[in-house]
Structures are given as C-alpha cells and as structure tokens.
Structure 1
Amino acid sequence: MTRGAAFWDRVARRYAEMQMRNPETYEHTLDLVREHLRPGDRVLELGCGTGTTALRLADAVERYVASDYSAEMITIAGERRSKAGVENLDLCVGQPCDGSLPEGPFDAILAFNLLHLLPNRRQAFADVAQHLRPGGLFISKTPCLGGVYRVFQPLVSALRLLGKAPDFNFLTPARLEREIRMAGFDIIAAGDYPKRPPRRFIVARKG
C-alpha cells in the first residue's frame, strides 16, 4: 500500500461525511462533463473517492468504471452504489502508472481533484492515453495553487508532516495544460470553476 492510499484509507469515513463546499460549482461541472459524454460511451473515472460523481454521471453513459487507490474509499462507494441501485457502475481499486487500471479502451477518462496529488503526472498521462481510444476524451478538474497561492505551501507541508494532509503539488493552470499537451492531447475546452483559487477544468482529446 502506498503512503497516499494509507492516508485516504484512514480518513475515508470522515471524508464521506463532509459537506460539499461549493455545490453550485459542482453542479455546473457535472453539466459541463455531461456535454461531452454520449449514451454509448464506456467511461473510466480515476480517483473516484466515495463515488459521489460516479453515481451522478453513470446514467449518461453505457458503462461507467470508477477506480481509486484507496480500498476503503471503494468500499464506501460500493455501499452507496447498492443503496442507489445503479447497475451500470463498476468499482475497482486501481490507479495510473502501476498496471492496476481496468483494460481499455475507454471513450472518456475522468479525473477530478486528483492530478495535483499524483507523484508522476507525466507517466500518469501516458497511462491515460494508453487506455483511451483514438479521439477519446480526457476530462479533468484540478485545484491549481501555484503562483500567488504558493504562500500556503508551508502550511500544507506542516499538515502533511502531521499526517493531516496528503502529498500535494502546487500547480498553475498553464503548467497543467502544458503537461497535458506534451502527453499528446489537444485541449478543446478549459476554464476555472471557481476562479479563485482556480480549479482548472480541462477537456482534452487524444491525438
């Protein structure tokens, strides 16, 4: 088990009980994602957490596969799936870069609030591309606390040392988009929701 997985396993139940901070922005993000999904799609979500988004989007596609490297998060997602009675949602423990993701190809791969937590984004983007069909979409939304927001880095480092925060990369929207393009994707839509601090929403097409 990785250090990151151990952290999320430990906080999973508490995380599941937290109230959403920006429900209006979240609903807007779901609407944006739905615009790019089709009824016949096979979709993979990376870092699905307790399955909140997977349960909301599964009805938009034919098959929705939700993965997370925290086994406890997947356990909670499974409990929620059973309660909701969603039949086209598969759950699995897995993450990019280590060969644990389900076999593709997928029409779309989603990653929300995940990319800033990955230790090797370059390899992760390559893994995403490998699991997408030609022309498939990589849709992500990422907290970007680089630039002026880097003032929070000492606080985050202190919390990390105390075991109260996960490993965290301070990205800027420009850097994140550059890395995605370098991985062979064409960005077809992007925006910040909310704008401050920016959470960059990106829709990228595999070349």
Structure 2
Amino acid sequence: MAQSHRFWNWIARRYARMPIRDQASYREKLDRTQAVLQSDWDVLEFGCGTGTTALEHAPHVAEIRGIDSAPKMIEICRERAAAAGCANASFDLAAIDRLDQPDSSLDAVLGMSILHLVDDRDAVIANVFRMLRPGGAFISSTICLEGQARLFRQVILPIGNFLGVLPRIHAFSRTNLIAAFEAAGYEIEENWQPDEDPMKAVFVIARKPA
C-alpha cells in the first residue's frame, strides 16, 4: 500500500475532522462487532486510519492494537488515545502484508474499509487466517465496486491515483469477496450490506474454524 502513503498523509487531518456519512450503518457495524468481541480478547485492527473504530471497541476487549502505513494517521491515533485516557489501545506504523505477527496469536482482526485498498487482497485474507486463533474472527467492511460506477472506476480513480490525490481502489464483487474468504478456510457468519445498496460497503464476519 506504499503508493497510498502520499494521499493518506496529505488528507489525515482533514479526514479526522470529517463526519461519518452514514452514522446508522456505522453504528450497526459497531454493534454487530461488539456482539462478537469478548472482554479477554487480543484484537488487531489494520488500516486503522485515525483510530476512531479501535477506540470504540477498546472497552470491550483486553487489548486492541491498531496499525496503519501512514505516519500522520498513527500520530492522530495516539493523540486520540491519550486524550481518551485509553490504556488498552496502542497504535503502530506497520502494514498488514509485512507484519511479523505469530501464528494463532489473535482472537480477532478488524479490517474496516481497507481490503479494496490492498494490492493482494487474497494474500492478506490468508495472512489474517494464519494470525487468528481457532475460533477467532476476521471482521471487515469492504467496498465492492465491480460492475458499479464505471466512469469512477475507469477514469476518475486512475487519474486521481496518478496525481496522488486518490488512493488506488481495486474493484471486485461481493460474491468474489465472500468466495475469497471461503477459499482461505473461513466460515461466514455475517454477510450484510446496508439497504442492499451496491454502493455501500459489505460487512463480513468470517470465523476461523475452532
């Protein structure tokens, strides 16, 4: 995801001030996630952005670690954690495809609004499977743009990425995303898209078999 550093560092402070556009769907995803999390769990969130979601979940787990490949995003995460007095959340500069995490060492991994940004989605899904303990959960929210907004995908995004003002977004379908989880060995517990709107992110809870 190195090609996106310029964009995310450039937008970090503005991004931190942006309101969440679909508060109802965001709240529903938080609730569905917290119904799965347990108080003694060790959790990782990759592509944690400005830390909002990690800090929402911190009271519900033992430890949560957020990682992001953009230094300015991690700077904001640490500021927010300190301001909230959140002792069980930590934030580090790292990328999921280069993270040296031991096998079967995590109870849950969160990947919110990130799988469509990584260069090798299937490798990331498999790497998370390796990290999870048996019975652990990979919880994600992913934009699936295949077949949607052709002008946006084929013209606007490539130009924006070339200029460094938009990240690279990979287009695939909801069906393809679920198939990738299943091919890696997960069992799908939730496959939810708000309002069945194809332009909204797909929320998935995928479980590593116990």
Q: TM-score, normalised by structure 2?
A: 0.92
SS at match of 1:165: coil
Q: Cα offset for 1:195? A: 3.0
Q: Cα offset for 1:151? A: 3.9
Contact 1:94 1:101 in 2 (8 A): no
SS at match of 1:115: coil
Change (3 A) 1:5 1:118: same
For 1:82 and 1:100, the matched residues in 2 are separated by 26
Q: Spell out the pairing of 1:105-144 with structure 2 (5 A cutoff).
A: 105-144=105-144
Identity of aligned residues (%): 35
For 2:97 and 2:186, the matched residues in 1 are separated by 18
Q: Spell out the pairing of 1:94-105 with structure 2 (5 A cutoff).
A: 94-100=94-100, 105=105
For 1:100 and 1:71, the matched residues in 2 are separated by 19
Which residue in the other structure is 2:189 paired with? Answer: 188
Q: Cα offset for 1:101? A: 5.0
Aligned match of 1:201 in 200, 203, 207? 203
RMSD value over aligned CA atoms?
1.7
For 2:117 and 2:148, the matched residues in 1 are separated by 19
Render the CA deviation track for 1:117-156: whole Å, top value 9, x for unaligned.
Answer: 0001121112111211112100000111111333421222
Which residue in the other structure is 1:53 paired with? Answer: 53
Contact 1:116 1:144 in 2 (8 A): yes
Render the CA deviation track for 1:139-194: whole Å, top value 9, x for unaligned.
Answer: 00011111133342122222222221101011211111111111111111111025
Contact 2:115 2:121 in 1 (8 A): yes
Structure 1 residues not aligned, in runs of 5+:
none
Which residue in the other structure is 2:174 paired with? Answer: 173
Indicate whether 1:83 and 2:83 are aligned: yes
Q: Cα offset for 1:6? A: 2.9
For 1:186 and 1:102, the matched residues in 2 are separated by 22
Contact 2:103 2:130 in 1 (8 A): no
For 1:57 and 1:77, the matched residues in 2 are separated by 14
Q: TM-score, normalised by structure 1?
A: 0.94
Contact 2:44 2:110 in 1 (8 A): yes
Q: Cα offset for 1:5? A: 2.3
Render the CA deviation track for 1:74-103: whole Å, top value 9, x for unaligned.
Answer: 110000011111111011111222135588
